[in-house]
Structure 1
Amino acid sequence: MDESPRRATFVRLPAEVQRPFQVFLNGVEQHEGVDFLVRDGTLVFERELAREKVGVGRWTSMVLGIAGSYGKDDAVDVVYEREGRPAVAAKLRFEELPD
């Protein structure tokens, strides 16, 4: 069993995002209190999320069709209303919380 400490990840909500809103991780709806918490305009996931880091060599090989992208690449999207219309904040940036 893995004994390493769990790392949390936070996602700062854009200023225009107001409740009610929906949160999606990799296209799957997440639920407040179960999958994440909201603290001071930030979504807090009690697990580590990651973005694939693609270097120049890897990027070039993907463009040329030599290799694909197989790394972990989580995406957090938030659906909300802006001026009475649906809006989406897509692929929001996230970071690990400091120790």
Structure 2
Amino acid sequence: MSETTRQRTRVQLPVDVTRPFDVFVNGVPQREGADYIVRGGWLVFERPMKEEGKLGLMRWASIMLGIAGSYRQNDSVDVAYERDGRKVVAAKIPVQPYE
């Protein structure tokens, strides 16, 4: 796949994150180099990720009536790291296309 057709995703790291840190996508541990790279203050994934966003009135109504479910792609990226000697987690960091 060429550089121009590859769909990548990026996630901005919290400003106070320091190494070492752990990355999770949808609760699954990720490995640097195999699953993502760190570029500046960003995590870059070699795959597309999406967030579901808010559901509109019609979608909510169809879910409530049992006509449809909510099975859209909804990826969640979490980063666990230490701040002042305590373990903290930045949860559901917004994902965006890598440009």
TM-score tier by shorter-chain length is 0.7 to 0.9
Aligned length in residues = 96
Deviations 1:9-52 (A, max 9, x none): 00001101111100000000000000000010100001100111
Counterpart CA distance in 1 for 2:70 and 2:22 is 28
Higher strand content, 1 or 2: 2
Provide Cα deviations, 1:41-65, integer angstroms capped at 9, x if missing partner. 1000011001113223224554x46
Percent of residue pairs identical: 52
Give distance in 1, aligned partners of 2:17 and 2:57: 34
Question: Which sits farther off after the overlay, 30-39 or 50-59?
Answer: 50-59
Instruction: Name the amino acid aligned to 1:81.
Output: E
Structure-2 separation of matches of 1:47 and 1:90: 20
SS in 2 for 1:17: coil
RMSD: 2.1
3-state secondary structure, aligned to 1:90: strand
Task: Give the secondary-structure state (helix, strand or coil) at the position aligned to 1:91.
Answer: strand
Please identify, of 45-54 and 26-35, the stretch whose mean Cα deviation from structure 2 is larger: 45-54
Counterparts of 1:1-40 in structure 2 under 5 Å?
Answer: 5-40=5-40
Task: Please list every run of 5 or more consecutive structure 2 residues that lacks an aligned counterpart in the other structure.
Answer: none
Q: What amino acid maps onto 1:34 in structure 2?
A: A
Q: Partner of 1:7: helix, strand, or coil?
A: coil
